[in-house]
Amino acid sequence: MAMLKPSLAFLVLAFAFFLCFIMSTGSYVYFQFVQQWPPTTCRLSSKPSHQHRPFQRFTIHGLWPSNYSNPRKPSNCNGSQFDDRKVYPDLRSDLKRSWPDVEGGNDTKFWEGEWNKHGKCSEQTLNQFHVDVVQYY
| Residue 109 in this model has a pLDDT that exceeds 90 | yes
- pLDDT band, very low/low/confident/very high, at 115 (cuts 50, 70, 90): very high
Catalytic residue among 50, 61, 112, 123: 61
In this prediction, residue 122 carries a pLDDT of: 93
Q: At 53, which amino acid appears?
A: R
Domain 26-136 has CATH 3.90.730.10: yes
The answer to whether residues 26 and 83 touch, using CB atoms and an 8 Å cutoff, is no
**DSSP codes, 41-98:** HHHH-SSPPS-SS--SS-EEEEEEEE-SS-TT-S-S-S-PPP-GGGS-HHHHHHHHHH
Number of other CB atoms surrounding residue 62 within 10 Å = 20
Flag whether the pTM goes above 0.75.
no
Residue in 50, 52, 103, 114 annotated catalytic: 114
Helix (H) or strand (E) holding 9: helix 4-23
* 130 classed as catalytic: no
Domain-by-domain residue ranges, the chain? 26-136
- State yes or no: is 50 an active-site residue: no
Tens of pLDDT along 53-107?
567 899 999 999 999 888 888 999 999 999 999 999 999 999 999 999 988 889 9
| 52 catalytic residue (yes or no) | no
Task: Identify the helix (H) or strand (E) that includes residue 15.
Answer: helix 4-23
- How confident is residue 40, by pLDDT bands cut at 50, 70 and 90? confident
